[in-house]
Every structure is written in structure tokens, then in C-alpha cells.
Chain A
């Protein structure tokens, strides 16, 4: 019964979509006043999709196993919180959530854009509806969350235990808010092209949505990283895994757009480039969904494997690309761009975009090249961290230096670049500190020195910038956060230490720096898993730390997960992970020292806070 309600609300939502498209097109062509029906229809559609989502949620909460999605992904012994998060932890449910957010954003856009021209608003809604129709069809044809099984099974198959985690429970919705926010950017830039509205006013409107998507995407990526850090148990937080790369690509694009749209806003130039970025962002978000959900990536995160779905999204994506290409080439008659000067903020932002696009290209090529190569030549290659590090890190150095200069420049033309005594001292200071750090480590001195000094210099300059009245607080915060983030990541990767030993309970092993003792292991039954808690003592120079890492044995589905025990303080993380060695009494114990982990999370959060501060501005 409840499944039927969900299913039919979706069908009605589809019908309403067609109605909305009709009305919005009519409104665009013949009317100067917004048709009230349009708001009603979009609102109704949102309610219907919301209804449909709620029924799925109810099915998960009640463990209604007559529903295929619930049967595949839930289990009666699962805690309530994960029953709820399970509704979007699977492919079908997550798409429904995408759709829900999509319709919510359309509604918000329609309501809050009162000041803009009617034709622009209705046309944006029209394009937005095309996306919605595509998604509803996709859900119906390939991944209906309301499929029934007869007879009804008594018990479900359970949710993959690695996914039963608070950070990962809220990770998809947040990430989707970021992805879907870019759909508004997409529709409104198409509408702006048609209405010839690609002005600085439009740039101001688009900036709000860019910021919103960017904030959610930043937080979403951060949550995913945090999860990977403590749950996957390798002590790393970024693996250059395809699924991670896929979320990073729209982030680069959005960051570029964020900077570029302020050039359009202030200087009325770079129109076509802003449009291209705006269109690309949504394409990348869509392909993100496509690449992750189709299972063509060989990845730890791919929990849904179904190539047919991929083909549908690929067709849908091609249609959207075709549509945007047609509109772009038919309507692009931009004014000749304004004068630009070499030493100006505008050039600095163009250079920012240049680097962003390069990073994006590296990640994009590195992620999809192996797929194409395999299809075309049957050659199978892996593109992993060494590739990305070699192509990205060297160019990070000039990027950081330019970023520290760029904020100082004026919009039009800098009369002279005032090289102040203070800045040179800072530069020398950062090179000196970096040299000492590199020497202390005694590896790759030149390379580390240059890299760390670039990051340190940016940090010093960003701190100095806090007093600069020309900059906005949002910019100051985000730039400072970014510099802390970069320097923490660099120092983290250089200073990390780790030791791995195999021990039985009661044994102890002396290593060069530490002594690791495996004291005991205790077993207990918790909710839906059996917990094996080990007690590990790590001592270094009379300093003892006791860790309680855990192994969780789940019955449904049969899996072992490993929970790290992490001791965090501001400058250092100490963590121990244990792993089960098959057919022995031994445990593999891995002790890691990870400096500045907390700073990485704090600065990522601060980056998002900077974005939120940017929203506060009155337009």
C-alpha cells in the first residue's frame, strides 16, 4: 500500500512536470507577469516528491521487506538511525533524494528570484524541469525504489557495515545538496543566454547559488574524507580514488566559477567563460553520479554495480550537453570584453582559473583515461597517487605564490607593485623555516623547501591580510583556511610515521622508536555486531599510550570492519588499527603518528564558514 503511494506520487510529479514545462514556456513567450499556476505547480511537485521520499523512509523505518530496495539494504536488527540513513545509502534511494533536492531547489529559486525578469525565471524553471523529467524517467526505468517482491521475505540482506557510520550517514545528502545546487546554475545560465541576461546583475544572482553549492560540496567532501580516515583504517584521508576524484572535479569547477563570477560582476568581462564554467559544473556533477553509480570504476566505494543504469545516464547527459551546446552557439553574442591589464586582480583571477582548470584536467584525465584505454585497446592500467602527485604538486608551488600576491591587486590597474619590506622578510623567513624543516627530515631538501615555503608564505600573507580593509571577511577567512589546509596537508604527508607488527595477545615487540605491547583482547555483543576490543600499549621514551582499537564482526551481511582508536590533539593524531590475519591468533597492529590532522578538518570547515560569510552579503 505504502509503496503504491510512493510510486504514484512520482508518476503525478512527472505529469506535473509536463504541465510546468508547458506553462513556463507559455509564460516565457507571451507574458510579462509570472503565472501564479507556475508557483503552485512547482510547489505541488515538490510536495509529491517529498511524499514519495517519505514513503520510502517509512518503508525503511518499518522494515517493510515487500519493497525490494528495503530488502536489499536493510535488516531488522539495524539501529533506527541507520535504517533511516539506509534509505539514501543505496542507489535507488539516493536518486530519489537527488530528485527531492532538485525539486526543492527549483521551488526556492522560483520564490526568491522575485526581483528578476519573468521570462528569465520561467525559462530557468523550464530547463530545470527538463532535468527533473530526466531524473524521474531514470528512476522509473532503471532504479525504481518501489519495486515489490512477492512473497514478502521475513528478513532483509542488511546494509554494508562500513556504511553504518554517522559521518557517512549524512555525507550523501550534503554532497547532493552541493551537486544539485549546480543544476540551478546550469538552468539559469542557459536561460540567461537565451534572454541575453549575462550581465553583472546575473553574476550577482549566480554567485549566491555558486556559494551554496560550494559550501555543501566542501562539507560533503570533508565528511567523506573524515569517514575514510577513521573507518577504512589506513590512516589516510585522501586516496585519489576515482570516487573521491569525481567529487573533487565539480569542486574545482565551482571554485573557479566563484572567482570568475566576481570578475563578471565587477568588470563585466569573461562572460562566455563564466557561462562555460557554469555549464561544466553541472555536467561534472551529473557525470559524478554516473561514474559512481554505474560501477564502471574499480573502486572501494562502488556499492552499486549496474552498467545499464550507466547507459541511461550517459544518454541523458549527452542530451543535456547537446542542448547546452546548441543554445550556447545559437545565442552567444557577447559584448567585446573590457580592457584588461596585466597587473590587476582580474588577471590574478584568470590565473587562478587557469590553475583550477589544470588541476581539474589532471583529475579528470587521470580518472577516466584508464576506462577509455581499456575499452579501446584492452590495455589495463592503474592511475594512482604517484600520477596525481607528480602532476599536481609541482604546479601547486607557483599557484600558492600567485595566490599570495593576487589578493593585493586592484581591479583596474595597479600603478606600482609596492614591494614592502615586511613581505620580503616574510618570504625569507618562510624559506628559512622550510629549509630547517626539510633539513631536519633530511630528504629531498630542495623540493620540500620550495613547497613548504610557498605554503608558509601564503599562510603569512593570509594572516597579514586579516588586517586588510579592502578584502571581505568571507575572502579573508577562506583564503586563510585554504593556506592552513595546504600547509597541514603538506606537513602531514611529510611528518607521518607508521609502524606495523604482527602480535599475539600478551606479546610485545621493541621497534627502533617505540615498543608496542598487545595486552589483551575482549569480546562483547553490541546491537547488531560482535565487538573484539584489543588493548594495545605503545610506549616511547617512558611515555605510554593505551589504545583500544576494535574489530566488528557483522552477521548480516557477513563482514569484518576495523575501527581505529584515534587520540587527537591539535598538533598530532596517534592512532592504532588492528586487522585480523586469517587462520592465525595474530593480529596485525598498525601504529601511526599523523601530525596536524585536526587542523586539516578545522581548516576545511573554516573554508566552508568563509563561504557562509559570503552569503550574508546583501545583494
Chain B
């Protein structure tokens, strides 16, 4: 029962994991995008949360870009080329962030193996 259960949760995990990356299409895209951007002149606030001039100008820029028909990814790309990777809260997957993204998952699998070893391999012989 538990093994079946683990299997199911594993499948669910993968489905949801990829589902997360889908972007829901709604009108409040500016809000959504600006929540993922760091306000560069503030201390630890997102562009969405901040009312600084920088944040306001970035929001105006996103709106213009959206009206001009740019996609969300294009906007992120544009902002990254202008201000550097520092501006987005979601680090891109590249050679610098390989460890950042994969280490937790690796540790999770490693921990799982340790548990399997403890429970099954070290099992007392009866």
C-alpha cells in the first residue's frame, strides 16, 4: 500500500512540478511579472511591492512591452540584459545555478537511499 502510495506521489510530484511552469493567462500580467522582479534600489522589496521611481518605471515599461506584443519571457530577457540576472527572483538554469537547482534534489534522493538502506538492507535476518 505504501509503495503504491509512494509511486503515486512520485508521479504527482512530476506532473505538478512541470505544471508550475505554465503561466496562467490573465490580464494582470504586469502585477504577476513585477512580483518576480527585484526592486534594485530598495532593500529586499519586489518591483510589485515598491513604490519607488525605479519600480514605477519598470512597471510602465512592462506594460508598454506587453502592449507591443512581447511575451513574458521576452520581457524577462530584456530586463536581464539591461540590469543583469540580479533583477529576477527566479534564477535561470545555467552553469552558475546548476548546483543551486540540483543540489537539493540530489540531497533528497541521497536521503531516500540512506533510508532504503537502513530499512531494507540492515534488516535483521529472521
A-side residues, CB < 8 A to B, are: 234, 239, 241-242, 298-302, 337, 339-343, 347, 350-351, 354, 357-358, 361-362, 365-366, 369, 373, 377, 379-387, 389-391, 393-395, 397-398, 401, 405, 417, 419, 443-444, 446-447, 450-451, 579-582, 588
Residues of B within 8 A of A582 (CB): 53
Q: Give the complex CA separation of A597 and B6 in angstroms.
A: 32
CA distance A282 to B89 in the complex (A): 29
- Given A358-B111, A361-B108, 8 further pairs, Cβ under 8 A: A298-B43, A300-B43, A340-B119, A379-B96, A382-B91, A383-B91, A446-B19, A588-B51
Q: What residues of A have a CB within 8 angstroms of the CB of B15 in the complex?
A: 446-447, 450
The answer to whether A340 and B118 touch across the interface, beta carbons within 8 angstroms, is: yes
B111 — which chain A residues lie within 8 A by C-beta? 354, 357-358
Given contacts A394-B17, A395-B13, contact A369 B99 (CB under 8 A): yes
11 A-B pairs with C-beta separation under 8 A: A354-B111, A354-B115, A358-B108, A366-B100, A381-B86, A387-B89, A398-B12, A444-B22, A444-B24, A447-B16, A450-B12
Contact B89 A383 (CB under 8 A): yes
Q: Mark B19-63, 1 if CB is under 8 A from A, else 0.
A: 111101000000000011010001111100101010000000000
Residues of B within 8 A of A444 (CB): 19, 22, 24
Residue in A closest to B91 when the chains form the complex, CB atoms: A381
The digit string for B95-126, where 1 denotes a CB below 8 A from any CB of A, is: 01101100111011001100100111011100
- Known A381-B91, A390-B20: A361·B51 in contact at CB below 8 Å: no
Sorted from nearest, which 8 A-B pairs have the closest CB atoms?
A: A384-B89, A398-B9, A386-B90, A300-B44, A380-B86, A339-B124, A447-B19, A234-B49
Q: Is the CB of A302 within 8 A of B91?
A: no
| Residue pair A302, B100 in contact (C-beta under 8 Å) | no
Please determine whether A358 and B107 come into contact, CB atoms closer than 8 angstroms: yes
- What is the CA–CA distance of A384 and B92 in the complex, to the nearest angstrom? 12
How many B residues are at the interface, by size bracket? Answer: 35 or more
Write the nearest CB–CB distance from A463 to chain B, whole angstroms: 21
Q: Which residues of A contact B17 (CB under 8 A)?
A: 390, 394
Given the complex, which residues of B lie within 8 Å of A339, measured CB to CB? Answer: 123-124
B107 in contact with A357 (CB, 8 Å): yes
Contacts of B99 in A (CB 8 A): 365, 369
Complex contact B96–A381 (CB within 8 A): yes
Residues A581 and B51 in contact, CB atoms below 8 Å apart = yes
Q: How many A-B residue pairs have CB under 8 A?
A: 146
| CB of B84 closer than 8 Å to a CB of A | yes
- Chain A contacts for B13, CB-based, 8 A: 394-395, 397-398
The CA-CA distance from A419 to B21 in the complex, in Å, is: 36
Residues on A with C-beta less than 8 A from B24 are 443-444
Known A-B contacts A354-B111, A380-B85; A394 and B44 likewise in contact (beta carbons under 8 Å): no
Given A299-B44, A381-B91, A419-B1: A365 and B22 within 8 A (CB)? no
Chain B residue contacts of A369, Cβ below 8 A: 99-100
Contacts of B68 in A (CB 8 A): none
Decide: A241 near B107, CB < 8 A? Known: A350-B118, A394-B17, A417-B1. Answer: no
Tell me the complex Cα distance, A384–B39, Å.
Answer: 12
Nearest A residue to B49, CB-CB: A234
Q: Nearest-CB distance from B86 to chain A (Å)?
A: 4
Interface bits B61-100 vs A (CB < 8 Å: 1, else 0): 0000000000000000000000011111111000011011
CA distance A384 to B86 in the complex (A): 11
Q: Is the CB of A401 within 8 A of B85?
A: no
